[in-house]
């Protein structure tokens, strides 16, 4: 699939902007859908991958279109089948020792580009349509939502209702300043993705700290610059696609809100990858919390909340890939989020209500809290190492570097 810094992506985006701004909305819907499908088919290349993607995407559409004649259990099984397909096509099963031999079909030589994001949009769409008896199941809207050119690879993860309501909307109040603002956002995004993030990459390569000559300074740069590089890459990408989509009159949700100004991990996840974290909150945390409070943990709201949060963050880790490091990352962040409320309660008991308010309003203490939160995020990002063996190796290299 083309990257945002490829000439083909830029050229396609420019042509889409011209076409969608000129065409009536009913025609623009078809143009955007056709271009999105065509670009995806070209990127997939092989006929088998194109067929697999078509079946994966449009089987769900057909089932939901005929949902009135389907039992609830069949609809639930469809959601489960989409998740199973996600695991199959992203090779989750083959990463589990021994399971690959039991599931010989779990080695598909296929590729579905943007699969994780497609699945999240599909599930939200299916539940949205199922909850609204008057909702219209439209093929073009579904295609634009699930396979949209700007959001296929890495979001942002829009919600179906707001997305379709604002899709190609002609804002009578659009001013030249709005166009300039969108263009400025695109330029800033490219500066982050093409210039600044690659520059930081020279300090955040795992090879730098894995070498025998690595010193404590190299480790400090590696640990503390990696989250910044990750942020510039991802937020820069989002700035590009949000700005370009805005020029096409497509409204996409914001994905970042100065996450490194967060004072704790709960606030961090309210600012970082917001469309994904809100999706996990609405479709994993709240449903699992309700199920636990109605079932085995009926009398313990605190335990149900803790278990639901840990499950949500475990899935956050696994969503990035079936690796030990990702699982560890998710659990560490889940544990830190769970500690926010008890820590605040402890401070209130120690300082009193007035003392807690002064603590929270102090600029100096806020700076300390921001630094502590960033440090925790930075240290846990080391879990993104390629394998569990890499994690162990990194620990040995770190011990050797700091001993010098």
Confidence of residue 404 (pLDDT cuts 50, 70, 90): low
Maximum average pLDDT range among 136-140, 165-169, 343-347, 399-403: 343-347
N-terminal to C-terminal alpha carbon distance within the chain: 45
Query: Residue 311: what pLDDT?
Result: 94
| Average pLDDT across the chain, whole number | 85
Share of the chain above pLDDT 90, in %: 50
DSSP string for 224-282: HHHHHHHHHHHHHHHHHHHHHHHHTTB------S-GGG-SSHHHHHHHSSHHHHHHHII
More confident residue, 351 or 296: 351
Confidence of residue 314 (pLDDT cuts 50, 70, 90): very high
Query: Residue 99: what pLDDT?
Result: 44
CA distances to 118, 162, 237, 251, 277 from 256, rounded to whole Å, are 20, 18, 11, 15, 11
106-115, 151-160, 189-198, 313-322: which has the minimum mean pLDDT? 106-115
* Boundaries of every domain in the chain: 7-166, 176-247, 259-402
177-192 average pLDDT score: 95
Query: Residue 239: what pLDDT?
Result: 96
- Tell whether the model's pLDDT for residue 238 goes beyond 60: yes
Helix (H, G, I), strand (E, B) or coil at 320: helix
pLDDT digit string, tens, across residues 138-158: 999 999 999 999 998 888 999
Query: For residue 149, which of 226, 43, 235 has the smallest C-alpha distance?
Result: 43
- Tell whether the model's pLDDT for residue 59 goes beyond 50: yes
pLDDT digit string, tens, across residues 254-305: 999 999 999 999 999 999 999 999 999 999 999 999 999 998 888 788 899 9
More confident residue, 121 or 4: 121
User: DSSP alpha helices (H): ranges in 90-215?
Assistant: 99-102, 115-131, 139-147, 160-166, 176-190, 197-204, 206-210
Query: Residue 68: what pLDDT?
Result: 64
Tokens 């809207």 locate to 141
CB atoms within 10 A of CB 236: 23
More confident residue, 47 or 147: 147
- Tell whether the model's pLDDT for residue 94 goes beyond 70: no
Confidence of residue 102 (pLDDT cuts 50, 70, 90): very low
Query: Residue 85: what pLDDT?
Result: 67
């Amino acid at each position: 699939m083309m990257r945002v810094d490829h000439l083909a992506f830029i050229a396609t985006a420019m042509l889409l902007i011209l076409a969608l701004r000129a065409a009536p909305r009913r025609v623009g819907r078809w143009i955007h859908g056709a271009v999105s499908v065509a670009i995806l088919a070209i990127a997939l290349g092989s006929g088998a991958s194109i067929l697999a993607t078509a079946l994966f995407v449009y089987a769900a559409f057909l089932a939901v279109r005929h949902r009135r004649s389907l039992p609830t259990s069949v609809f639930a099984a469809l959601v489960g089948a989409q998740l199973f397909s996600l695991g199959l096509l992203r090779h989750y099963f083959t990463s589990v020792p021994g399971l690959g031999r039991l599931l010989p079909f779990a080695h598909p030589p296929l590729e579905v580009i943007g699969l994780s994001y497609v699945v999240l949009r599909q599930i939200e769409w299916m539940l949205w349509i199922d909850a609204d008896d008057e909702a219209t199941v439209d093929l073009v809207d579904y295609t634009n939502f699930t396979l949209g050119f700007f959001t296929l690879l890495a979001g942002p993860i829009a919600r179906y209702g707001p997305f379709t309501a604002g899709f190609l909307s002609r804002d009578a109040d659009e001013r030249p300043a709005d166009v300039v603002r969108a263009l400025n956002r695109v330029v800033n995004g490219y500066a982050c993705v093409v210039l600044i993030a690659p520059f930081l990459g020279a300090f955040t390569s795992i090879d730098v700290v894995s070498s025998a000559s690595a010193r404590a300074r190299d480790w400090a740069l590696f640990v503390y610059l990696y989250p910044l590089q990750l942020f510039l890459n991802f937020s820069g990408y989002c700035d590009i696609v949000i700005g370009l989509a805005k020029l096409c009159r497509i409204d996409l949700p914001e994905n970042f809100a100065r996450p490194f100004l967060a004072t704790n991990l709960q606030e961090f996840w309210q600012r970082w990858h917001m469309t994904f974290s809100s999706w996990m909150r609405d479709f994993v945390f709240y449903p699992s919390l309700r199920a636990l409070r109605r079932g085995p943990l009926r009398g313990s709201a605190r335990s149900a909340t803790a278990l639901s949060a840990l499950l949500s963050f475990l899935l956050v880790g696994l969503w990035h890939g079936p690796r030990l490091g990702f699982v560890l990352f998710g659990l560490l962040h889940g544990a830190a989020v769970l500690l926010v409320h008890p820590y605040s309660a402890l401070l209130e008991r120690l300082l009193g209500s007035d003392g807690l308010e002064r603590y929270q309003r102090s600029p100096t203490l806020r700076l300390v809290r921001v630094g502590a939160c960033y440090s925790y995020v930075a240290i846990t990002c080391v879990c993104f190492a390629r394998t569990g063996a890499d994690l162990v190796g990194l620990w040995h290299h770190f011990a050797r570097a700091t001993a010098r």
